[in-house]
Amino acid sequence: MVNPGLAVSVVKDGKVVFTHALGVKNRNVPSMPVTTNTMFGIGALSQAFANVLTLATMNRSEKLRQKGVDTTLRDLFNHKALFKHSYLRSRYATLLDLMTHRMGFENHKYLRLDNSTTPDQLMVRVHQIDPKGRFRDSYYYNDLMYGIIAKLTEDISGSQWETLVTAEILNRLGMTSTSFFTSPAFNPFLQDVAQGYVKDNAALYPVSYEFLKEWTRFCGDSCVLSSANDMARFMVFLLGNGTAPGSMIPLVSDDEFSNMFKPWNRLQSPSIEEYFSKAQGVPVSRTHSGVALGFKTGQYRGWNILEQTGDLFGYSTMMTLFPQTKLGIFIAMTGEDDKDFFRTTLSSYIADIYHKETPWLNSTLLCAFPLPWKAAPVPKPEPVITEVPLTRPISDFVGQYVNNLYGTVYVVDNMGQLELHYGFVKFILKRKESSKPRFYMIPTGAAEHLIDIDTLKFSEQRITNLIDGVNIDKFEDSDFKKVGVPAPPSVPTI
C-alpha cells in the first residue's frame, strides 16, 4: 500500500477526541505536510451532505413538507413519462428511491465522461436507462441518482448546490476547510489540498484537477472536498439531533433526521463479508445489511454502525458512525485502498480503543490484512497488447456511433491510428487477436492511468459485411449504431 497522505478524526459524545495527519500533500514537495485542515476529495461521502440538504429543503417548502422525501419525481418534474422503459418508476418513484438506490438501475458511471451532458440534461439521459433490477426490491448502486437529487434541490431553492451546502451546512457548522471541485473559487494551488494519486503498474500518478472537475460536475454524489477537522464537526452534527452549534432550531426536523439512518433498502450480498466475516476466519465480524440515506447500515461487535466509503480517482475515504455510543470515525487518504482493507481495519481498531475492547488488530496486521487469515486478492493482470493487422481498411471503422443513453462516440483515424473519442476523453484502439473485429480500448491523455483498459467489438452486417455498430464493455455492455450505414438488402423469400 502506497498512500502519500493520511488524515484521521474521531468524535465521541459530542466532542472531538482525536485528530491526526501523516504524510505529504504532494510527493514532489516533501516540505508540505498534510495537516488536519488539509482537504481530500471525499467521493461518495458527498451524498451525506446531499441528503441533509435535501431534507432541509423539503422541510422548508410548504408545498413539499408534508410528503418530504416521499414526494414523487413525477410531481417534482411535472412529467408523466420520466423513465422510458418503466411506467412503474415513472408513476411511483420518489426522492427516497433515488437516495437509497432502489431504482434497479446499473451505475453507468462512464456516462459522465460525456461533458456535453450537463446537470440540467442529466434527467434526459437517465430517461433512457433500461432497468436491470426490480423496483424497490433490489440494490443497484447508482451515483447518477444523486446528480438528479442535487439538481432538484437547486430547482426548488433557486440556488446552486454548492452555494446551498455552504449556506445551510458549512457556515452553520463552522466548516471552513471544505470546498468543491466544481466551484469557481476552488484553487488547489492556493488552498490546503492534498494531491490525489492513482497506482498503475506499481507507479503513482497524480490525478488532474480538471479531470476531477469534469467527473464530479453532477456534484451531489462526489464533488465535495473536506478535512479531518471539518468532518469531525459534521460527524458531531450527524450523531447529535441535527442542530448546529449555537442554534436552538434543528436544521432538519427530528422525524426526518431519524429517517436518515433507517435501512430503507437491503443488501443481499454485501462485499464486506468476503473478508471481514468470522466465516472467513477473522476473529470479529463486521457486517453491512441495509442502505440508509448516504450510508450502509450494519454491525460491529454488536454495535449498530452507519458506514460509507468514498473512492474517487486519487482519494480513498471512510466515515463510520456508531449512533448508540455517539462515536464517529473519519479516515482520508490519497492513493488507493484495495477492497477498503486499510480503512476498514483502521476504523475497527479505533472503534475497539474507544469502546474499551481488546483490539484484534495491531500495526503489523493493519498493513498486512487480509493476511494471516486469508490470502490477498490476486491483481488482475494487465493485457499483453501486440500489433495486430486490422484486416480491412481503417476507413471502414471511422464514423459516428450513437446510443440513446450514452449519446455519440466518434471513431477517428489519427494518422493511421484508430481512436475512440467520447466527451472529454480519448481511447486508442488496438486490434486483438480474434476472428472478430475486437479491440483493446486504451485510455490516453487525461484518462491515462485512471481508467482500466477494456475491450470493444465492432459489429458487421451479415450480407454486406459493412461495419454498422460497436459494443463497448466499459459502458455497461452498451450497443452503439453507426450513423449513415445503409440498411442491408432484403433477402427474397421463396
235 with 313, same domain: the answer is yes
pLDDT of residue 259: 87
Dist CA 260 CA 53 (whole Å): 12
Q: What are the angstrom distances between the C-alpha of 99 and each of 73, 143, 163, 196?
A: 12, 9, 21, 27
pLDDT digits (tens, 9 = 90+) for 305-358: 999 999 999 999 999 999 999 999 999 999 999 999 999 999 999 999 999 999
Do the domain assignments include residue 468?
Answer: yes
pLDDT of residue 488: 78
460 with 336, same domain: the answer is no
189 with 239, same domain: the answer is yes
Dist CA 314 CA 195 (whole Å): 8
Last residue of a domain, one of 357, 384, 410: 357
pLDDT of residue 1: 56
371 Cβ contact list (under 8 Å, min separation 6)? none
pLDDT of residue 423: 97
299 with 440, same domain: the answer is no
Do the domain assignments include residue 375?
Answer: no
Segments in the chain below pLDDT 70? 1, 248, 490-494
Q: Of the candidates 281, 325, 317, which has an alpha carbon nearest to the alpha carbon of residue 300?
A: 325
110 with 254, same domain: the answer is yes
Say which amino acid occupies 189: F
Q: What is the DSSP letter of 60?
A: H
pTM of the model: 0.95
Do the domain assignments include residue 207?
Answer: yes
54 with 184, same domain: the answer is yes
351 with 399, same domain: the answer is no
Q: What is the DSSP string of 191-258?
A: S-BPPPEEEETTEEEEPPHHHHHHHTTT-TTT-EEE-HHHHHHHHHHHHTTS--TT-SS-SS-HHHHH
Plot region of 286 (φ>0 → left; ψ -120 to 50 → alpha; else → beta): beta
Dihedral over alpha carbons 28, 34, 38, 40 (to 10 degrees): 70
pLDDT digits (tens, 9 = 90+) for 8-67: 999 999 999 999 999 999 999 999 999 999 999 999 999 999 999 999 999 888 888 888
The residues facing 308 across adjacent strands are 319
Q: For residue 209, what is the domain's CATH number?
A: 3.40.710.10
Helix H or strand E segment including 165:
helix 161-165
Last residue of a domain, one of 342, 357, 372: 357
Domain count for the chain: 2
- Output phi, psi for 267, to 5 deg: -105, 125
Greatest Cα pair distance, the chain, in angstroms, is: 86
Do the domain assignments include residue 493?
Answer: no
423 with 352, same domain: the answer is no
Cell 450502509 -> residue: 296
200 with 342, same domain: the answer is yes
Do the domain assignments include residue 302?
Answer: yes
Tell me if residue 408 falls in helix, strand or coil. Answer: strand
- Output phi, psi for 317, to 5 deg: -130, 165
159 with 18, same domain: the answer is yes
103 with 237, same domain: the answer is yes
State which residues form the domain around 415. Answer: 394-482
Q: For residue 473, what is the domain's CATH number?
A: 2.40.128.600
Q: What is the DSSP letter of 39?
A: B
Beta-carbon count within 10 A of 338 CB: 12
Do the domain assignments include residue 107?
Answer: yes
pLDDT of residue 241: 79
Do the domain assignments include residue 410?
Answer: yes
Contact call for residues 289 and 426 (beta carbons, < 8 A): no
316 with 414, same domain: the answer is no
Do the domain assignments include residue 368?
Answer: no
494 Cβ contact list (under 8 Å, min separation 6)? none
